[in-house]
């Protein structure tokens, strides 16, 4: 962890309350096999109590020994995905997936909406469209609270090892996960997919949303709901996952977020997945997600860890630690950074010195941005941060 002194973080949540195990109401009619359906109590909304629907499961081996666990946070259009919970229980983790918009995980109606329940809090209003409301009436306040409450619930289970619980979110869930990572320091690891910080710098609807707000509100929403506020306070290793051309979260902001978390915990990693589309199923598909979790809480084979890139006389160099032998290494570079949503990443050779555990690559003339990407003997891919030139 960084030795830098970090000023204590002021935030709107009552952590003492959120870190207590919530009241749970079983919903047996929605149980599926060993996966249990529940409501848990969450933060009041406009003076009324709220509940959050969730699916959770515990693997069979938990009857003999305490198991690790994970909180699963969906993105836009998502819900408490049963299959997501099952993916993790099949891997030996207890898991919980909650619905953050007051819905039940049932079939959508003709308008594409899932049924709601009577104890819901606020729904998300686009990109921070609720910015003018009191903080405790805004969606992000409730979403982060629900994720922390889910963690408190998992920790209360006798079958769960409370020191081995992680969090993993996709898209908007990645934003929530990034915020939670700087607020709830009980987590052992964090894996945001797509979603990241510095959203106000994005040249898409996120940046446009901040630009439309009156300046006072824009600064307030940055301070409250942009992960860049919270990442300098994170204490757990983080794995950042994004595609090379995601339409919602530009890669340079993912890299910037990764650099902050890496400054806090050197075990933090970045995995850029070329050709990765944007959906929940695609977002939970990269195998690096599961390998990273196993590495942190199961003593699994560690992924390769790259040091900070060093550039000298037109050559990039990086050292690698942990992990097995490298199968491939390459320099990915671009000659044009005018549009981070439509990048053309070209490939150049990067030479590996296995004795020195060092990778070197010549930077082609005209390069505007580059990074080094490696694949190990188990086909896990990680990369350096993105370096900008001019």
pLDDT of 14 higher than 60: yes
> DSSP secondary structure string, 106-155?
S---TTS-PPB-TT--PPP-TTTTTTTS-GGGSHHHHHHHHHHHHHHHHH
- What number is the average pLDDT over the span 92-98? 98
**pLDDT tens-digit readout, 43-84:** 999 999 999 999 999 998 877 899 999 999 999 999 999 999
Read off the pLDDT band of 112 (50, 70, 90).
Answer: confident
Read off the pLDDT band of 8 (50, 70, 90).
Answer: low
pLDDT of 2 higher than 50: no
Read off the pLDDT band of 108 (50, 70, 90).
Answer: confident
Local structure of 291: helix, strand or coil? helix
pLDDT of 347 higher than 60: yes
pLDDT of 6 higher than 70: no
Local structure of residue 32 (DSSP, 8 states): B
- What number is the average pLDDT over the span 338-360? 95
Tally of CB atoms within 10 A around 21: 14
Taking the C-alpha atoms of residue 122 and residue 101, their distance in angstroms, rounded to an integer, is 7
Taking the C-alpha atoms of residue 256 and residue 277, their distance in angstroms, rounded to an integer, is 21
Read off the pLDDT band of 7 (50, 70, 90).
Answer: low
pLDDT of 87 higher than 80: yes
Architecture of domain 15-300: 3-Layer(aba) Sandwich (3.40)
- What number is the average pLDDT over the span 155-174? 98
Strand bridging mode 310-312 / 315-321: antiparallel
**CB neighbour list of residue 17: distance below 8 Å, 6 or more residues apart:** none
**pLDDT tens-digit readout, 285-316:** 999 999 999 999 999 999 999 999 999 999 99
For residues 333-348, b (16+ Cβ closer than 10 Å) or e, as one string? Answer: bbeeeeebeebebeeb
pLDDT of 37 higher than 60: yes
Q: Are the C-beta atoms of 205 and 250 separated by less than 8 Å?
A: no
For residues 361-374, b (16+ Cβ closer than 10 Å) or e, as one string? Answer: bebeeebebbbbbb
- 126 DSSP β-pair partners: none
Helix %, strand %, coil % of the chain (to 5): 25, 30, 45
**CB neighbour list of residue 82: distance below 8 Å, 6 or more residues apart:** 32, 35, 55, 97, 105
Taking the C-alpha atoms of residue 389 and residue 383, their distance in angstroms, rounded to an integer, is 18
Taking the C-alpha atoms of residue 59 and residue 172, their distance in angstroms, rounded to an integer, is 27
Strand bridging mode 94-98 / 67-73: parallel
pLDDT of 260 higher than 70: yes
- What number is the average pLDDT over the span 175-194? 99
pLDDT of 204 higher than 70: yes
**pLDDT tens-digit readout, 217-245:** 999 999 999 999 999 999 999 999 999 99
Read off the pLDDT band of 5 (50, 70, 90).
Answer: very low
Share of the chain above pLDDT 70, in %: 98
Read off the pLDDT band of 119 (50, 70, 90).
Answer: very high
Tally of CB atoms within 10 A around 267: 21
Element holding 354 (H helix, E strand):
none
For the chain, the domains span: 15-300, 306-388
- What number is the average pLDDT over the span 177-197? 98
Architecture of domain 306-388: Sandwich (2.60)
């Amino acid at each position: 962890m960084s030795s830098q002194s970090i000023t204590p973080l002021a935030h709107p949540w009552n952590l003492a309350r959120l870190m207590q195990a919530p009241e749970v109401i079983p919903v047996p009619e929605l149980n599926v096999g060993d996966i249990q359906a529940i409501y848990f109590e969450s933060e009041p909304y406009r003076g009324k109590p709220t509940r959050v629907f969730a699916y959770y499961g515990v693997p069979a081996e938990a009857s003999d020994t305490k198991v690790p666990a994970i909180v699963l946070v969906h993105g836009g259009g998502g819900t408490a995905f049963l299959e997501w919970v099952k993916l993790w229980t099949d891997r030996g983790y207890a898991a919980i997936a909650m619905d953050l918009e007051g819905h039940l995980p049932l079939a959508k109606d003709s308008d594409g909406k899932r049924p709601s329940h009577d104890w819901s809090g606020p729904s998300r209003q686009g990109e921070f469209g609720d910015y003018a409301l009191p903080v405790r009436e805004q969606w992000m306040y409730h979403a982060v609270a629900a994720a922390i409450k889910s963690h408190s619930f998992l920790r209360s289970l006798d079958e769960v090892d409370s020191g081995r619980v992680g969090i993993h979110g996709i898209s908007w869930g990645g934003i929530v996960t990034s915020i939670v990572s700087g607020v709830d320091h009980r987590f052992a690891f964090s894996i945001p997919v797509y979603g990241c910080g510095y959203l106000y710098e994005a040249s898409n609807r996120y940046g446009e949303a901040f630009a439309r707000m009156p300046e006072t509100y824009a600064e307030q929403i940055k301070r409250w709901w942009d992960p860049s506020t919270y990442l300098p306070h994170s204490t757990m290793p983080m794995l950042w996952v994004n595609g090379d051309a995601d339409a919602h979260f530009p890669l340079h902001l993912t890299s910037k977020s990764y650099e902050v978390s890496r400054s806090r915990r050197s075990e933090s990693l970045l995995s850029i997945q070329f050709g990765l589309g944007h959906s929940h199923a695609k977002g939970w598909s990269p195998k690096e997600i599961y390998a990273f979790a196993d590495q942190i809480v199961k003593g699994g084979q560690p992924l390769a860890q790259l040091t900070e890139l060093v550039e000298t006389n037109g050559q990039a160099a990086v050292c690698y630690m942990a992990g097995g032998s490298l199968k491939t290494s390459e320099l990915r570079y671009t000659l044009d950074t005018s549009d981070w949503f439509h990048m053309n990443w070209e490939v150049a050779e990067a030479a590996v010195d296995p004795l020195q555990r060092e990778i070197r690559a010549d930077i082609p003339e005209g390069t505007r941005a580059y990074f080094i990407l490696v694949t190990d003997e188990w086909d896990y891919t990680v990369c350096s941060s993105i370096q900008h030139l001019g």
